[in-house]
Amino acid sequence: MYDLKSCVATEFINDAEIRETLAFADEHRNDRGMISAILDKARTCAGLTHREAILLLDCTDPELNERIYAEAMEIKQRFYGNRIVMFAPLYLSNYCVNGCTYCPYHMKNTHIARKKLTQEEIRAEVIALQDMGHKRLALETGEHPTMCPLDYVLESIDTIYSIHHKNGAIRRVNVNIAATTVENYTRLKNAGIGTYILFQETYNKKIYEEKHPTGPKSNYAYHTEAMDRAMEGGIDDVGCGVLFGLAPYRYDFVGLLMHAEHLEAAKGVGPHTISVPRIRRADDIDPLMFSEAIDDDTFAKIVAVLRLAVPYTGLIISTRESVKARERVLKLGVSQISGASRTSVGGYVSPEPEDENSSQFDVVDNRTLDEVVNWLMRLGHVPSFCTACYREGRTGDRFMSLVKSGQIVNCCQPNALMTLKEYLEDYASPETREIGEALIEKELQRIPNEKVRLIAAEHLFELHEGKRDFRF
Ligand code: SF4
Ligand code: SF4
């Protein structure tokens, strides 16, 4: 039985409810009256239920689709303006005991290079990331009880936060590690992590079990209930996602929204972020073997409808996507992107020799961070290296209430400009700096609160004089 408040995986992600929802969408996908009413609701930023959202996703009427895209762009502007938060992944270890059929780190892969960074190697990686200008990381590891225990992850987080090279600092460490116990989530929380990220991969239990034939991750319920345990352990901000390409995308789209609805109903706060990765080529993984892979149009529609369905949730895309695909979805709702990513273990310090590949997937967007920042600004976006909320204790429901009241813009906009200014002063090429300085001057006027605007202007001047790390 479907019960969104239940903490049992098959009750809050209920197969019968998903199938009924999909049948409902089959029947009403181009019902103009219904879709117009849903779009009117979306405009109030009330969010959408999974039933409402799938109708929009399935709609094939070109005129209605134009309206869907226009509303998504409008909501993106209203909440996120033209700001895009930047981050980079940091792979600590690729030892893994699981058998995931879409990931080259699966245990049976004997030819991929297996690596685990020492604390000294982590130092070197972090310095390389700081020297690019990154301030926000997502830690990535495989699941391995002896090669990559939680103690190692916690020690690594301490190491990362302790490194201050020149003006560099990693100010927020998000963590993407395997589902674990409430006690371990509390330990992660106490280590000062930002968001705990765990992709569901697919919500379809049968397909999940096929794609995860062995290892602890093969337990659908334990994996699906992980966010409940994380929140029980005290983690306020969780990041969900599916890997599009494993199962029919409509099923996973509905499941993803049901998961968000469940967390909101049962824990009082929905996911902080949602990621939308698509299956990519990797060491022994051929994406052509995955018949459910989605095209760029479907991908863009998913982003647009998610923007309407969960207006307060950050949407993330990675360098798995091409420059063209990234450019398209930035307007429609994406609020965070990675830049200059290396998906190998130790890849920031030196590129790996060809016979020593440890990458989780092939990066499609290979540009440097300076090139990505330059590109974003030329498109009219403001790259932001902001990490302020978590450092100011604005997490979970405290964060959400600030976002829902619309007050967050008085923090996001000045913080984006001040962290961009730091980037320009410390790391940018002359051309990027020139574009950025003009952009900051223009964007400063968009801070709605006059007092905040004046303080931000003062801090921008102080940043130029050499001071660092201001935030609202
Ligand atoms: S997806 Fe994660 S758990 Fe699965 S094989 Fe890759 S690293 Fe291991
Ligand atoms: S102020 Fe908070 S919500 Fe806004 S960009 Fe910074 S960390 Fe994100």
- What distance in angstroms lies between residue 409's CA and the mean position of ligand 2's atoms? 9
Pocket probe for ligand 1: among 100, 101, 223, the residue whose CB has the most ligand atoms within 8 Å is: 100
* SS3 readout for 392-441: CCCCHHHHHHHHHCCCCHHHHHHHHHHHHHHHHHHCCCHHHHHHHHHHHH
> Is the CB of 103 within 6 Å of ligand 1?
yes
* CA 83 to ligand 2: nearest atom: 5
Q: Do residues 271 and 260 make contact, with C-beta atoms less than 8 angstroms apart? A: yes
* pLDDT attached to residue 3: 98
Percent of the chain with pLDDT over 90: 94
Residue 20's pLDDT band, with cuts at 50, 70 and 90, is very high
Nearest-ligand number for the alpha carbon of 106 = 1
- What distance in angstroms lies between residue 344's CA and the mean position of ligand 1's atoms? 13
Partners of 88 in the β-ladder: 137
Tell me the three state secondary structure of residue 166.
coil
Is a pLDDT exceeding 90 seen at residue 400? no
Is a pLDDT exceeding 90 seen at residue 460? yes
> Is the CB of 408 within 6 Å of ligand 2?
yes
pLDDT in tens, 128-183: 999 999 999 999 999 999 999 999 999 999 999 999 999 999 999 999 999 999 99
CA-to-CA distance for 472 and 461, rounded, in angstroms?
Answer: 16
Nearest-ligand number for the alpha carbon of 98 = 1
Residue of minimum CA distance from atom 5 in ligand 1: 106
- What distance in angstroms lies between residue 143's CA and the mean position of ligand 1's atoms? 7
Pocket probe for ligand 1: among 101, 106, 177, 360, the residue whose CB has the most ligand atoms within 8 Å is: 106
- What distance in angstroms lies between residue 413's CA and the mean position of ligand 2's atoms? 8
CA-to-CA distance for 78 and 307, rounded, in angstroms?
Answer: 11
- What distance in angstroms lies between residue 80's CA and the mean position of ligand 2's atoms? 9
Nearest-ligand number for the alpha carbon of 104 = 1
pLDDT in tens, 25-38: 999 999 999 999 99
* pLDDT attached to residue 462: 98
* CA 85 to ligand 2: nearest atom: 5
Query: Rounded to 5 degrees, what angle do the CA atoms 42, 84, 258 make?
Result: 40
Domain ranges for the chain, please list them. Answer: 9-76, 80-366, 388-464
> Is the CB of 313 within 6 Å of ligand 1?
no
CA-to-CA distance for 274 and 309, rounded, in angstroms?
Answer: 12
Q: Do residues 55 and 39 make contact, with C-beta atoms less than 8 angstroms apart? A: no
Residue 231's pLDDT band, with cuts at 50, 70 and 90, is very high
Class of domain 80-366: alpha beta
- What distance in angstroms lies between residue 412's CA and the mean position of ligand 2's atoms? 5
Task: Kindly report which listed range (144-153, 250-259, 397-406, 453-462) carries the lowest average pLDDT score.
Answer: 397-406
Q: In which residue are the tokens 């901000």 written?
A: 237
* CA 215 to ligand 1: nearest atom: 3
Mean pLDDT, residues 307-332: 96
Name the residue type at position 409.
V
> Is the CB of 309 within 6 Å of ligand 2?
no
Q: Do residues 350 and 407 make contact, with C-beta atoms less than 8 angstroms apart? A: no
Closest to 274 (Cα-Cα) out of 261, 289, 256: 256
Helices (H), 44-198: 50-58, 62-80, 119-132, 150-162, 182-190
> Is the CB of 217 within 6 Å of ligand 1?
yes
- What distance in angstroms lies between residue 221's CA and the mean position of ligand 2's atoms? 32
* C-alpha 113, offset from chain centre: 27
Residue of minimum CA distance from atom 2 in ligand 2: 389
pLDDT in tens, 408-423: 888 999 999 999 999 9
> Is the CB of 389 within 6 Å of ligand 2?
yes
* pLDDT attached to residue 348: 97
> Is the CB of 384 within 6 Å of ligand 2?
yes
Closest to 261 (Cα-Cα) out of 250, 271, 275, 249: 271
* pLDDT attached to residue 79: 87
> Is the CB of 53 within 6 Å of ligand 2?
no
According to DSSP, residue 321 is labeled S
Mean pLDDT, residues 198-225: 98
Residue of minimum CA distance from atom 2 in ligand 1: 142
Nearest-ligand number for the alpha carbon of 312 = 2
Nearest-ligand number for the alpha carbon of 208 = 1
Partners of 89 in the β-ladder: 138
Closest to 92 (Cα-Cα) out of 131, 125, 127: 125
CA-to-CA distance for 297 and 467, rounded, in angstroms?
Answer: 45
> Is the CB of 411 within 6 Å of ligand 2?
yes
Is a pLDDT exceeding 90 seen at residue 253? yes
> Exposed, middle or buried, 446 (CB in 10 Å: 0-12/13-18/19+)?
middle
- What distance in angstroms lies between residue 198's CA and the mean position of ligand 2's atoms? 21
* DSSP result, 325-336: HHHHHHHHT--E
CA-to-CA distance for 359 and 277, rounded, in angstroms?
Answer: 16
Percent of the chain with pLDDT over 70: 100
Nearest-ligand number for the alpha carbon of 102 = 1
Residue 354's pLDDT band, with cuts at 50, 70 and 90, is confident
Average pLDDT, the chain: 96
- What distance in angstroms lies between residue 30's CA and the mean position of ligand 1's atoms? 39
Q: Do residues 280 and 30 make contact, with C-beta atoms less than 8 angstroms apart? A: no
Residue of minimum CA distance from atom 4 in ligand 2: 412
* pLDDT attached to residue 350: 86
Mean pLDDT, residues 450-471: 97
